Structures are given as structure tokens and as C-alpha cells.
Amino acid sequence: MRIAGLDLAVDPLASELPGWRAKVGIEQWRIAADQCRQSGGRLVALWASDRRTPDDPPCVSAAYALAPGLLWLSLPLEDAAAGYPDISRFFAPAGRMQRALADLSGWRAIGAEDTRPWLNHGAWPAHYLPLRNGARGDECFPDQALTDYAFVKVAGDGVHEIPVGPVHAGIIEPGHFRFSIVGEKVLRLEERLGYVHKGIEKRFEGLDPSAACRLAGRVSGDSTVAYAWAWSMAFESSQQVCVPQRAAWLRALMLERERVANHLGDLGALGNDAAFAFGLAQFSRMKEDWLRLNAEIFGHRFLMDRVVPGGVACDPDGTALRRLVAQCDAIEAEVREMHSIYDEHSGLQDRFVSTGRVTADLARRLGLCGMAGRASGLGGDLRAAYPWPPYTELEFRMAQAVDGDVAARVQVRFDEVVESMRLLRLICARLAGGAVATPIPAPSRSAVGFGWVECWRGDVFVALELDATGAIARCHCHDPSWQNWPVLEHAVIGNIVPDFPLINKSFNLSYSGQDL
């Protein structure tokens, strides 16, 4: 099959989304990255697997989003000590993914410019590789010293450094930001994440499907529906199982409610970061009402554990659906009113417009994705590019802006809330009867599958590999924040230090999704 200018022996992946898998050699790995870039594709994820049989060597895998669908390339490492070719020169987001891969599995990208540790802050010695065969995952190294990180130094007259974090006020997760400034103007920002590495990818090994789905839903708590759906999609595709129609539509209903909840919270926080406390008060109230109805109808404020392998664990009746529609009507009216207030408030617009701008060209070169990418004029919404049920029947309308600043990201959030309300009404009106789950027999053979879901932040990806007994041998979960955190470093350049919280919140990236 010819994909992105490559002639590959591909195996179709049984999924609701178009996808193919192929094994490649060292030279094909490099050429494939170049061809995917030239054809307008983008890197979705990069990870490694340590195989469990002598005739099946370790491999490095990359997933690319191309016009026809998803291409999963695997490079067997016949000589593991030799590493694999660097692809960060073709796809900038690969840099940190390759560094994380080296920390966890030991194989290094040959030719990469940045080889500093990323996830390992000194919690384990360099010779210990958490995702290699032989690692139990519960080892402890109490005498291991924390390591210093080689931040890039900026020198010059009047240049100062401001270290922020890793511990922050409030309840957000830890992340360190090193600003190089002249006066209040930011010359450079460098991030350091990975402070709360949780060992999730190792924990997946051997779990039964239900427990694994629960774990996936806790990768990043604000995207629990998206992760649980992506994991379930990967498992269901590996077993070639189709979920009932009603279950698929209920999954979409919960995904859109998750999207609305996060946008409501962030729109309020963005107002607050620009000294408009009224916005925070109003959107916080709306979000709280939204979450309380989640709890009443679905049994959990944030919809955790509602998506399960084979379907969903909830089945709202007609009365509940009418309550959901009524809430959409009420909240949408208030959101539209707040949108007018935000647009007409000169103080907010002074802070939003031109702040933290990411041009379309820069966004494309750095691989910006999801909501932030759409605010910089890029496309890239799975619900439009590769619609799967029920989005195949909902005529989804993608929100987009072109200016790439805080104002544009705010605009996209407002538009996405309104579009999600429209989708929610359609889902409630067209929801068919029938079962909400189908039983899936325990797997008993080797298989692979992938899941790919557009969460509120961007596309969540899950790659699943089962061993010969049907047990989970490898599960890689990927958050869109991997692509977008490096872009934030560029978005803040040339802005003043007090605008960083505003710019940061306009992206609202996941720390947790980085620390698997």
C-alpha cells in the first residue's frame, strides 16, 4: 500500500477509525518521517516496547496522522545498543518524546540534539529502565540523589532569571518554569516537567480490561471520558468488537459534557487572570451546576468510570435526557451573554488581544494541535477529519480562529461550547434504544489495537499490545499536551512576565498527562 509517498506492507487495524500498521527498517524509519512531514502529516505519538520473546526484538513505534488515517510504524531494534534515527528534525514534538523514551526504556535517538533526561529527575539510577523486561515497577532507590537539570543559560546586559515552581500556589500539579527576562519582557522560557511520575504505563501490564480502563481514565482527570473511551476503543478494536449504538451515542454525550465543563472553567479562570472576577464567579457557578447534574444523572461529577470496555456503565432515561437538554438551553443562553460581555469589555480585550500569539506558520512547524492549534488557523479535529460513530451522523462544525493569541483561544472556547450544546441536543433527541454494553470475552491471544479520541484539549491516543496469552504487554497513552507544552515556551516570548499566567491558562495543558 502506498501511504504518504511510501510503499509499505501494511496491516489494516480493526477500528472505528481508519488505521494501518507496518514494520519498517532503520532507513525506512527516517524516510517515513520525512515523507509524512512533506505530505502534511503530523506526529501523534512516539513510544517503545520491550518484546517478550527472543524472536520478537524490542521496537520503537511512531503514530502519524495522515490524510487517509492513522499510520502506526514499528521499528524492530535488532541491535538495540545502536539506537534508532532521530526524527525531531522532521517533527519538533518528537524531541521530548524521545527523551522520555530514553529515560523509561533506554534506547536513544541517534543524532538528536537534546539528550537531557526528561522524566527521570534522579528518582531512579540511569541503569534502571522502568519499562524494560525485568523491571518489576515497585523498586525503590532511597539513596538515589536528585539530579540538577542543565537549563539553557541566556546571557547579556540586563538579563535576569526568574525561577517559578515546581510547587505552585493552589492545587495544580508541579512544573518548573525558568524565565530569562530583560525588565519585564520575556526573552526565553524553559520548562521542566515530570515531577510526579506515576508509573502508569508499567502498571497497565497484566491488568484485566476493566481495571485497565479505570486506570486509563485517571491519566489526566479532566479528560477521563476521553481516555477511557480511547482505551476502550483500542481494546475493542484488538478484539474486533463493536459496541451497541446506544452506547456509542452515550459516550459522545459524556465526551461533549466533559468538553463543556472544562471550557466553562477555563473561560472563568481567563477572566480572573485578567482581573475580571465577575467572569470567574459566573462561569464557576455555571460549571458547578453542570457538574452537579453529571453527578445526579451519571453518578459522578467528572464522569469517571462511566465508559467501560464494550459500552457504558450508565443509561439515562427520558426524564434525565430532558433535564440535560433543559440545562443546555439555560447554560447556552448565559454563555452567549457572557461572550458579549467579554467581547465588549475593553479591559479584557486589552489583555487578550495580541497576547501570547502563535502564528499559523509557527504552530504548523512546532506541531501545535487541538483547541490551541485551531485558534492559530490550523484544522485538526478528529470529529471532522475522521468522524466515528456517532459523529458520522451529527454533521459536526469545527470551531476555528486565525489570530493565535489569547483572544483567539478564548473565541474558540466560546464557539466550542455552543457547538457542543448543539451536539448534546441532537444526541438526546436521536438516542436510539437498546443495550448500553456488549460483553467481551477475556482475550486469549496476541493482538494490537488503537484508540483515538478528540478530547477538549486535543487528540488523545492509546496504543495497546496484548501478549500471546491475551494479557496487556504494553499500553501507551498519549496526551496532546506533549505537542503543546513546547509551543507555550514560544508563545510567551516578547510578552511581559505578568501575562504568563494568562497565556498559560489559555492553553491549560496537562501536567499529569506528561508524567506517566
- The 3-class SS string of 166-193 reads CCCCCCCCCCEEEEEEECCEEEEEEEEC
Quick one: average pLDDT of 58-74? 96
Provide the Cα torsion 246, 248, 252, 258; round to 10°.
100
Q: Which of 189, 121, 235, 136 is nearest to 477 (CA)?
A: 235
pLDDT band for position 145 (cuts 50, 70, 90): confident
pLDDT value at position 495?
A: 98
> Can you give the three-state secondary structure of 349-363, one letter per residue?
HHHHCCCCCCCHHHH
Q: Which domains does the chain have, with CATH numbers?
A: 2-110 (3.30.460.80)
Average pLDDT over residues 17-24: 94
Provide the pLDDT for residue 78: 82
DSSP state of 242: -
Contacts 24+ apart (CB under 8 A), 211-215: 212/472, 212/475, 213/305, 213/307, 213/308, 213/309, 214/305
CA–CA gap between residue 75 and residue 26 (Å, rounded): 7
Q: Each residue of 316-373: pLDDT tens digit? A: 999 999 999 999 999 999 999 999 999 999 999 999 999 999 999 999 999 999 999 9
Q: What local confidence, expressed as pLDDT, does residue 181 receive? A: 97
pLDDT at 1: 65
Q: Residue 5: pLDDT above 70?
A: no
Query: What is the mean predicted confidence (pLDDT) over 88-112?
Result: 97
Segment 433-489, tens digit of pLDDT: 999 999 999 999 999 999 999 999 999 999 999 999 999 999 999 999 999 999 999
Closest listed residue to residue 435, CA positions, set 340, 308, 344, 261: 308
Q: Does residue 505 register a pLDDT over 70?
A: yes
Please give the Cα distance from 314 to 436 (Å, whole number): 8
Per-residue pLDDT at 154: 92
Structure confidence at residue 54 (pLDDT): 60
Torsion on CA atoms 464, 13, 5, 66, rounded to nearest 10: -70
Identify how many contiguous H helices and E strands the chain contains and give both numbers: 15, 17
pLDDT at 168: 86
Q: Is residue 10 a contact partner of residue 21, using CB atoms and an 8 Å limit? A: yes
Question: What is the reported pLDDT for 373?
Answer: 98
In degrees, to the nearest 5, what angle opens at C-alpha 74 toward C-alphas 73 and 80? 145
Q: What are 237-265's pLDDT values in tens digits? A: 999 999 999 999 999 999 999 999 999 99
In this predicted structure, the answer to whether residue 6 has a pLDDT above a threshold of 80 is no
Question: Whole-number mean pLDDT of the chain?
Answer: 95
Would you call 3 helix, strand, or coil by DSSP?
strand
Cα-atom radius of gyration of the chain, to the nearest Å?
23
Q: What is the pLDDT of residues 374-416, one digit of tens each?
A: 999 998 999 999 999 999 999 999 999 999 999 999 999 999 9
pLDDT (mean) for 97-109 = 96
| pLDDT of the residue at 3 | 65
310 torsion bin: left (phi>0), alpha (psi -120 to 50), beta (else): left
In this prediction, residue 52 carries a pLDDT of 61
Residues 204-243 have pLDDT tens digits of 998 999 999 999 999 999 999 999 999 999 999 999 999 9
The span from the CA of 455 to the CA of 69, in Å, is 18
Which pLDDT belongs to residue 273?
Answer: 95
Beta pairing, strands 11-12 & 109-110: unpaired
